[in-house]
A and B are shown apart, each in its own frame.
Chain A
Amino acid sequence: DIQLTQSPSFLSASVGDRVTITCRASQGISNYLAWYQQKPGKAPKLLIYGASTLQSGVPSRFSGSGSGTEITLKISSLQPEDFATYYCQQLNSYPPTFGQGTKVEIK
Chain B
Amino acid sequence: QVQLVQSGAEVKKPGSSVKVSCKASGGTFSNHAISWVRQAPGQGLEWMGGIIPTFGTANYAQKFQGRVTIIADESTSTAYMELSSLRSEDMAVYYCARGRFPGEWLSSHDYWGQGTLVTVSS
Residues of A participating in the B interface, judged by any CB pair closer than 8 Å: 1, 32, 34, 36, 38, 43-46, 49-50, 55, 87, 89, 91-101
Residues on A with beta carbons closer than 8 Å to the beta carbon of B47 = 89, 95-98
Residues of B participating in the A interface, judged by any CB pair closer than 8 Å: 35, 37, 44-47, 59, 61-62, 95, 97, 100, 106-110, 112-115
Residues on B with beta carbons closer than 8 Å to the beta carbon of A36 = 45, 109
Closest chain A residue to B104 by CB distance?
Answer: A91
The 3 residue pairs across chains A and B that have the minimum distance between CB atoms: A34-B108, A43-B112, A49-B108
Complex CA gap A49/B110 in Å reads 9
Determine whether the beta carbon of B108 is less than 8 Å from that of A89: yes
Summed over the interface, the residue pairs from A and B with CB atoms below 8 Å come to a total of: 58
Residues on A with beta carbons closer than 8 Å to the beta carbon of B61 = 94-95
How far, in Å, is A94 (CB) from chain B's closest CB?
A: 6
How far, in Å, is B24 (CB) from chain A's closest CB?
A: 14
Q: Does more than half of chain A's interface fall in helix, strand or loop, or is it mixed? A: loop
Closest chain B residue to A50 by CB distance?
Answer: B108
Determine whether the beta carbon of A49 is less than 8 Å from that of B100: yes
A sample of 15 cross-chain residue pairs with beta-carbon separation below 8 angstroms, ordered by A number, consists of A1-B62, A34-B109, A43-B113, A43-B114, A44-B37, A46-B100, A49-B108, A50-B108, A89-B109, A91-B108, A93-B106, A94-B106, A96-B35, A98-B45, A100-B44
- With known contacts A97-B47, A100-B44, A46–B108 Cβ distance under 8 A: yes
Closest chain B residue to A97 by CB distance?
Answer: B47
Determine whether the beta carbon of A46 is less than 8 Å from that of B110: yes
Determine whether the beta carbon of B107 is less than 8 Å from that of A91: yes
Residues on B with beta carbons closer than 8 Å to the beta carbon of A101 = 44-45
How far, in Å, is A54 (CB) from chain B's closest CB?
A: 12
| Residue among B37, B44, B100, B110 with most chain A CB within 10 A | B44
